[in-house]
Amino acid sequence: MREISVSEITKNISEMCIEANHFLSPDMKKVFEDSLDQESSPLGKQILEQLKENLDIAGADRIPICQDTGMAVIFLKIGQDVHIGGGSLAEAIHQGVREGYKNGYLRKSVVSDPIERKNTQDNTPAVIHYEIVSGDKIEITVAPKGFGSENMSRVFMLKPADGIEGVKSAVLTAVNDAGPNACPPMVVGVGIGGTFEKCALMAKHALTRNLEEKSEIAYVRELEQELLKKINETGIGPGGLGGTVTALVVNVETYPTHIAGLPVAVNICCHVNRHVHRII
């Protein structure tokens, strides 16, 4: 049994909140830079150049990539041979977010109640997703999610007869409805299967997958490429001002589902798609 102190978890999450809000992840940087060569519209290319300049300034001057520094979404894969000592794991995570947003001078955007709307002043609580896995390590993913794109996300409860064509239609409907509001070029996470809540969680997690990794499932790889092509044919373009690069990547996750259902979720993220991974 390996012992990990909650203080180590707090420290890592604090650092990761700052890193995610100041720098693109390497996989995200690669697909964004590739888009500069793929964009054929002069205006679209100009928008991408402006976005790149913004990213360069953010990294050099240590200021946030975007004024919306997001609600902190944390994915934890906890090895079953790990013992977490020294206090509450959940509180350690919230404290890491609290410290990261304070020390990084990041905007605090969380309200304590969805109706009363009083700001918590420290960007907590975070949204935490736990998974118990084999091993003696903890894998942490921090993904601050801005709400310009989050508000454009959708869940569709399709019928099994809708099949893969229904899935494609649902994804394209969500993207077209989002238009410029999701700050394109966007990254599109799709969850297919499970239940109402499971497909939404998969869609969110899909955004954090290394964008250069391909699915192990043949039809999923084909679906991702076809959707990316069709999304980029919409002409929405960078900033919603027209062009050939509306999406950078489409990532799809699947899960077994009930014989009577075909749940599909589409979680859209803006061009920065903030996510940081660490293993401790």
pLDDT in tens, the chain (280 residues): 899 999 999 999 999 999 999 999 999 999 999 999 999 999 999 999 999 999 999 989 999 999 999 999 999 999 999 999 999 999 999 999 999 999 999 999 999 999 999 999 999 999 999 999 999 999 999 999 999 999 999 999 999 999 999 999 999 999 999 999 999 999 999 999 999 999 999 999 999 999 888 899 999 999 999 999 999 999 999 999 999 999 999 999 999 999 999 999 999 999 999 999 999 9
Helices 218-232 and 163-178 meet at what angle, rounded to 10?
Answer: 40
pTM above 0.85, yes or no: yes
The last residue of a domain, from among 122, 145, 168: 145
Contact 268, 68 (CB under 8 A): no
Q: Quick one: DSSP state of residue 235?
A: -
Task: Please count the structural domains in the chain.
Answer: 2
Write down the residue that tokens 């969380």 correspond to: 110
Tokens of 235: 């002409």
The last residue of a domain, from among 145, 173, 190: 145
- Closest by CA to 93, choosing from 8, 207, 4, is 8
Cis peptide before 263 (omega within 30 of 0): no
Instruction: Give yes or no: residues 6 and 135 share one domain.
Output: yes
Residue 152: CB atoms within 10 A of its CB come to 22
Instruction: Give yes or no: residues 133 and 199 share one domain.
Output: no
Instruction: Give yes or no: residues 230 and 266 share one domain.
Output: yes
- List, in sequence order, every residue forming a beta bridge with 32; answer none if it has no partner: none
What are the C-alpha distances in Å from 121 to residues 7, 110, 126, 167? 22, 7, 13, 40
The last residue of a domain, from among 113, 145, 177: 145
Residue ranges making up the domain that contains 97: 2-22+65-145
